[in-house]
Structure 1
């Protein structure tokens, strides 16, 4: 199974690389599939798969996906999922 992790661009390293914060873990990510790393992308959210940004997503989608990943990993209580559905 393949999985992409959501994260927020925090800095540009070079024309094709940016730093992405994925739940508090920052990694340099290749942005070539997004047309390169641009200043206008700082603060935007992306899905990252094997070191490449593969899609831009909304902040809400990024936060929800990260929350669900934390639940799956046992880092967050599933009760938060149930309380939001009511």
Structure 2
């Protein structure tokens, strides 16, 4: 299943953004996002890539929807998919919220962005 998870952009440096996902801060690539992003914006993240900037008038509804997924039964497959997406891709700082450990993998790069665009059949 392809699942994106919303998060709040805390800072932007070039094509990298630090994004907060319910207390878990991760580095997310901006190569594939559909419009410019700045701190305070919300994005939809998929495996370490911002794939969509969430319009201001959709933020509250989007966040409430995802929070309802995560507040359901933790064994629910949709809730599990949301948590898996938060934990995958990008990097997680050591000591982050929720007891998540830092990823051992390299952060996503431009080549990864190109691969994702090809996989999703998106022409930029």
TM-score under structure 1 length normalisation: 0.68
The number of residue pairs the alignment matches comes to 71
SS in 2 for 1:8: strand
CA contact (8 A) 1:17 1:37 kept: no
Mapped to 2, the partners of 1:69 and 1:3 lie a distance apart of 12
Give the structure-2-normalised TM-score: 0.50
Q: Distance in 1 between matches of 2:15 and 2:36?
A: 5
- Structure 2: runs of 5+ lacking an equivalent: 75-124
Runs of 4+ displaced beyond 2 Å: 34-38, 71-74
RMSD of aligned Cα (Å): 2.1
Unaligned runs of 5+ in 1: 75-86
Mapped partners of 2:73, 2:2: distance in 1: 15
